[in-house]
Structure 1
Amino acid sequence: MIGNFVLFLSLMSGTMCFLTGTTTNERKQYAMYVWRDGFDPQIPGCDQTDFLTWDSKHSPCFTHTWNTREKRQWLWATCNLPGREVSSIYLADIYHKLKPGFHANSCAGSDITLLRTTLLEGHTHVSNLNIYALFAASDADVSERRMVPYVVWYNDHCTKTDLEKFDGVAVNNEAYASIKCSHDVSQRTTFLDRLQDVYNEAQKQRRGKLLTHFSVSWHWGQCGGHSQPFLWNGKTMDASRHMIDIFDSIDVQVGYTLFPQIGDRMELAGLNYSSRHHKRTYVTFYTDKTEPCQITFFPQTCHLSGRSESHLFNVIDQFSQNGLGHIHPCIHYFRGVYSSGGHADWPAHL
């Protein structure tokens, strides 16, 4: 069993202390994905061997990341880690919790209550935290555009205070990768039209502004190693820049853990363009087990060194010296493996 597991259990069984020692001006502004399930060493028998196997689909070692008070306390404490504070989270498992109430036009029910409690806690215990409802249908039809009205309805009808509202909607749709080199430009423009619908639906909220966020891969504007510009909405640019235009913020999946590749891929994804247009931009780093090994910090056999939380933070600390001083890091994802406590190199931040 991992060395810090006893400490993990004692903290989980007691009263959680929220780490609020830093002032707003001193806080970092990281982003973090919070998918529905994450590794959970509190489950009996779930040790480092299970962690390294990482069978997230079938193993009992993966539990919901925010559906209990204890799990949410773990999340808020992670957001408040001194010097590594998180200011935006993309929270999954929202669609099925909002859908029944939306169609019944009823704010009653345990799922709506859970959302109100979660949002209130997050906004109360994490300074200036933006909480986005995360949708990831990831289809060419961009079905996420039909989910945004659920959030608009919830914010306008089910919340008693602004602290119970979502600050934005985030979309993680990977379908563009399959059409980025299509000779049929209408496939690409139609995809962008549907992304624009995400933004347009968000603007229908009557009480306050609902922010929009999108995740892009660094190579989506490229085909065969060359820029692939096309006309859409009166501009001829590559897809990455069109996507930057649509949304309030983006995160770029750079697919690498070292410089100079990180910086090079950010440039290809439209870093200068997003900066000129004052769009908040994040570099997304993967920590979960995936292939090829150079795209993740997961501690697996790899020809590249540096597969720990300390190495992740070291890369983030190199942003300024590599021309990314105005860019923010995004960690993918909470308890997968970041703050999981499933490995000595990946402690749980409680």
Structure 2
Amino acid sequence: MKKNLFILSILASMLFPACENELPYMDKPQAPQLLMNAFLEAGKEENTVSLRMIEADKQQADYVSNGSIVVYVNGEKTETAQVDKGYRSFGDPNCMLKTSFRPGDRIRFEATAEDGQYQAGCEVEIPLPIEDLIRVDTLRTQLRGSSSMMDCMQYKITIHDRPNEKNYYRLIIEENTYRVSSETGTRYGPFPFYPEIINQEDIVLTDGHLTTADDDKFGILDWTIRNTNNVFTDGRFENGSYTLKVYTSIPYIRELNRKDHFYLDVTVRLLSLSQSYYRYLRAMNCLDSEDYNETFMEPVIVPQNVSGGLGFVGASSEQRVTLRMVDRPPLW
């Protein structure tokens, strides 16, 4: 949603009639470069790494015709993963890593493409998760929307900060549906769904900029960027505990088959992030937001940690709690 940009442009023309905004010219890389992106999760059976080629005169990156990544964990080589052209994620061939990473592991990637013509590398450490389990309390309630009250689920999530260090976190709420066939007993799923997290009432997730549903209508000069990635630091509860308060839509079964047994679990995930990963997701909050206006706001700096090429590799570990929210037996 754009916040009355027409009104802002009129105000700007009135306040700064003779002002010119000059931006320095940033030349593009002249030679093709290897682009490497990945978001590693501790304990995951498979992690994917995307390898692509990017050139100065092209708007989009190209697939690599051949490429590989050598993986080192704590200084020891664990595998060499080749680009799998048969596997597509968002249209990109990926390297599928079979190495399972653990919190505290130091990971190094050495990537090559086009018969070794291009190389890129990256090092990242898997952060440690919080030590104590998170506690989740739920409540079915109502929240004021843009035009009326809406039914929603409230989550109060109590977390305990890792002591004596600066920590970076991300909150994810995941719904997983399972179906058990009444005829064969076969279980299908999980079928994941990520509901939008409404964090407008939480001082930590909004960084002190609490909002309401009326802000879009009346907040003409409100340039707050929504924290859609739900990332935060321990700056307001360092070495202590804090209870996040957020909302989602009411979890419900989307299947209409009345003969099968359906379950729906909600998993509350608290990811511990590296500092660079936190900064990357904060930058994505701006770049993906319709509220961001490059004329009136500071430029967004997207971190990159790939040497010899371009891209970003992030790492996370997590604590999670799973709640059974729906248990619907066969209706006939």
Give the TM-score category using the shorter length.
under 0.3
Greater per-residue helix proportion: 1
TM-score, structure 2 normalization: 0.28
TM-score by length of structure 1 reads 0.27
The structure that is strand-richer by fraction is 2
